[in-house]
Structure 1
Amino acid sequence: MTTQQTFVIVGAGLAGAKAAEALRTNGFGGKVILIGDEDERPYDRPPLSKGYLQGTTEREKIYIHPAQWHLERDIDLRLGIRVNDIDCAAHEVKTAGETLGYDKLLVATGSAPRRLTVPGADLAGVHYLRRVADSEALKAAFASAQRVAVIGAGWIGLETAAAARAAGCQVTLIERGKLPLLAVLGAEVAETYAALHRAHGVEGRMNAGVAEIIGDSDKATGVRLVDGDVVAADAVVVGVGITPNTELAAAAGLPVDNGIVVDEHLATIDPDVFAAGDVANSYYPLLGTHLRLEHWSAALNQGPVAAANMMGTLTSYDHVPYFFSDQYDCGMEYSGYVGPDGYDEVVFRGDVAGGEFIAFWVRDGRVLAGMNVNTWGVTDAIEALVRSGARVDPAKLADPEELLMYVAANAAR
């Protein structure tokens, strides 16, 4: 007689939800327990800074599965519950109310916004964005505010700045670097985002540090910069990065280094414990290095890979890193990865000034990454270029008359 197995998933975000889905799709007949510390059933986070924040995406559209989906597939979805402890030796997870045994465990606890530590950071009117309630609070703030200060010019900062402008607010973007997204994109492409926001009326305060958030009657009224200037604001948005939620894994003795360290199968050093999504620092065979990627696509694709390996089907996570962003009328997709060694040049194809182009980051004649802006149907070709590792002709990359699929096919030879 075979004992029914129990698979527990801690974290009911995209990675956890997709893992649960893959378990049932691939025929796992044991118990699946999906535990989330939010009261909401699993949902996608990208709309929270895009369509949902701007009111163009209905709430029901953000959820990964319909309301009855988990019940219909016999997935034990437990919401509003925090796991307090993982005991790997005993194969147990503990909540405030019970202890659950597991045969296999997936940790998909995600991440949390990095908090400001300057004086005034806890005033009302200071917003972070991670959960549905945060997005709704921001939406309400933008509806009533005249002036919004956004601290941090990363993807969340830029997308919320665009949403605030769409709501009719005056927006000031405060960033420590000299350009938005400088560390991510490099100066050549970062300048295109600086120009995009200038064109939409955003005031940029670059090379600016935040000294404190000032307030009146316990509500934020502005941001004082290190140089003494004050940026007046009715609402302040903080987007200065996120931190992986590794506390459970660390306390359980699992290796943690900028996330839970896992191999290409998303397995930890404990063969019965896996990790996926924002919290996982996973090994990428394509790149020959560990990466923790805070992208929607990583959570989307790592969940099913973890599920396959939990079921005993050895599967590698070998996707080309991918993310996307929508700001104003500018949509982009980015495929690939530029490592710490950087790049030699950026090759542009198309109309950069007109906002329809592709940028390629090239090192030693090879395409490390490509970003298509308002140019569609080319992601497969860009991924093929990145995956091939072959040398390419920069002139062909830049020439819009050259079919990109042809360039990719020839590079792969």
Structure 2
Amino acid sequence: MRRVVVVGASAAGLTTAEALRRQGFDGLLTMIGDERHPPYDRPPLSKQILTGQWGPEHLRLRPESDIEALDLDLRLGVAAAGVDRARRTVALADGSTVSYDTLIIATGVRPRPFPGGRGIAGVHVLRTQEDAVALRDRLGSGRRLVIIGAGFVGTEVAAAARRRDVDVTLVESAAQPLARIIGRDAGRFLTGIHRERGVRILTGVRAAALDTADDAVSGVRLEDGRLLPADDVLVAIGSLPNTDWLRGSGLDMGDGLVCDAYSRCAPGVHAVGDVARWFNPLFGCEMRVEHRTTASEQGMALARNLLNPADAQPFAPVPYFWTDQYEMRVQAHGYLPGHAESAVLDGDLAQGRALIGYSRGRHLTGVLAIGMPFGAVRAWRTAVARRTEWAAAASLPAPA
């Protein structure tokens, strides 16, 4: 393994490259990124960037000197266009090709578009630095923002916009925002927080079309016929893995690039981060996790396995994510989607401080903490990692 190509100048891609160098890889290391920026952090896009607390210069994951120290063949501002696995080459959009012994795909995801929304002024998605700055510059007191989709991105943007005195309406097709992931109780609690802060939340209804005037958005028309006037619209209806460029490669793609427990997709080809769907033996299922911490951990695990194949270990993390909603931090450990049951294990939601447990089958598979410090949740993370019986979870001592 003398030539490693990382496609995706993302947190996952950068962490993988750093770990390879740190553990002794001294061969040719190429990193390809379709954006012109060096690797940067995306979670602040819906928080500090939109509120104006940070400028884009605060997003860089590493100082320029640290990137230079990696001795990368860095190809920024050019997208990967295809893979020839027989020849072990990656084709780039500028017509060039790059050879590899090992290919690491870290291309992440892109926002799912709203039908007919492309090219209309005032219609936004949120994935890149440019997306965030464009939306930030439109937010101001009295302006009307309609957000289609009340998931984590939608609710984080709603919170940031309310801090700037924007009139915000959230449109959610489900009966309860966030309930599919974090359960009805936690979803109801967070919905109440947003309503207390003045966010208008419409549930159980879909956005049908965008109204325009003078080539700019003027409103969102709902399926039930209502029209929501808008100066700006954010489309936050989920994401799509960036795998289109891999068509014809023969790689298995189904809601992400399918991998085994070692992040391996095919001989010489691996995937990390948001684009990867891999088998997590701790939970006994495939998962694709769009969380910053998991992306970095997967990159480090892959580098270790590539350089120590005789001692390779499956990647079996307890995923972690957080979301900031106004002054409150919500954090979760484990795998919450598809849970069968949830219950408050500590605290009281009515007091704004609670820990909720989640189960799939007989085991505790995740916990969600609202208004608690990270340290207070650490013991519960351990309980998830140990596959604690769900029946015993409620009797665990509350952290000090």
Superposed displacement of residue 128, structure 1? 0.2
From the superposition, tell whether residues 73 and 337 of structure 1 become closer, same or farther in structure 2 (CA, over 3 Å). closer
- Alignment correspondent of 2:316: 318
Amino acid of the residue matched to residue 39 of structure 1?
R
Task: Write the distance in 2 (CA, Å) between the matches of 1:124 and 1:56.
Answer: 25
Runs of at least 5 residues in structure 2 that lack an aligned partner in the other structure: none
Q: Offset at 1:395? A: 4.8
The equivalent residue for 2:399 is 404
- CA shift, 1:364, in A, is 5.6
- Could you tell me which of 332, 335, 355 is aligned with 2:333? 335
Q: Quote the Cα distance in structure 1 between the aligned partners of 2:302 and 2:363.
A: 31
| SS at 1:156 equivalent | helix
Matches within 5 A, 1:175-324: 175-268=172-265, 270-313=266-309, 314-324=312-322
How far apart in 1 are the matches of 2:399 and 2:262? Answer: 32
Number of equivalent positions = 395
State how 1:127-166 maps to structure 2 within 5 Å.
127-143=124-140, 146-166=143-163
CA shift, 1:14, in A, is: 0.7
Q: Distance in 1 between matches of 2:63 and 2:150?
A: 34
Partner secondary structure for residue 132 of structure 2? helix
Structure 1 residue 348 displacement after superposition: 4.1
Contact 2:180 2:337 in 1 (8 A): no
The match for 2:22 is 25
> What does residue 110 of structure 1 align with?
108
> Percent sequence identity over matched residues?
36
Greater shift, 312-321 or 329-338, is seen at 312-321
Give the deviation of 1:366 after TM superposition. Answer: 3.2
Q: Which one of the candidate residues 100, 103, 106 is aligned to 2:98?
A: 100
Name the CA shift for 1:147/1:25 in 2 (closer, same or farther; >3 Å).
same
Over residues 244-283 of structure 1, what are the superposed CA-to-partner deviations in whole Å (9 max), with x where a residue is unaligned? 0112333211111111111111011x22110011110011
Return the alpha-carbon distance in structure 1 between the equivalents of residues 181 and 14 of structure 2.
28
The whole-number CA distance in structure 2 between the counterparts of 1:244 and 1:124 is 25
| Amino acid corresponding to residue 388 of structure 2 in structure 1 | A
Partner of 1:410: none
State the distance in 2 between where 1:194 and 1:335 align.
Answer: 21
User: Does the Cα contact within 8 Å between 1:347 and 1:362 map onto a contact in 2?
Assistant: no
The more displaced of 346-355 and 157-166 is 346-355
**Any idea what SS the aligned residue of 2:344 has?**
strand
Q: What TM-score results when the alignment is normalised by the length of structure 1?
A: 0.91
The alignment's TM-score, normalised by the length of structure 2, stands at: 0.94
Is the 1:173–1:205 Cα contact (8 Å) retained in structure 2? yes
CA contact (8 A) 1:106 1:306 kept: no
Cα shift at 1:202: 0.3
Secondary structure, in 3 states, of the residue corresponding to 1:143?
coil
**Which range moves more in the overlay, 289-298 or 7-16?**
289-298
**For residue 184 of structure 1, what is the amino acid of its counterpart?**
I
Contact 2:364 2:393 in 1 (8 A): no
Whether contact under 8 Å (1:212, 1:225) holds in the other structure is yes
Quote how far apart the aligned CAs of 1:388 are: 1.7
**Which amino acid in the other structure matches residue 178 of structure 1?**
A
In the alignment, residue 277 of structure 2 is paired with which amino acid? N
**Structure 2 counterpart of 1:89, from 86, 89, 107:** 86
Q: 1:126 to 1:144 in 2, by over 3 A?
A: farther
Q: Does 1:48 align with 2:45?
A: yes
Distance (whole Å) between structure 1 residues aligned to residue 394 and residue 29 of structure 2:
53
CA shift digits 1:7-64 (9 cap, x unpaired)? 1100101110111111111110101111100011001110001112212234333211
Q: Which amino acid aligns with 1:396?
A: S
Deviation at 1:110, TM superposition (A): 0.8
Residue 378 of structure 1: CA displacement? 2.7
Maintained 8 Å contact 2:181/2:337: no
Cα deviation for residue 344 of structure 1 reads 3.0
Amino acid of the residue matched to residue 104 of structure 1? T
**C-alpha contact (below 8 Å) 1:336/1:383 kept by paired residues:** yes
2:82–2:247 contact (8 Å) kept in structure 1: no
Which residue among 381, 386, 389 is the counterpart of 1:388? 386
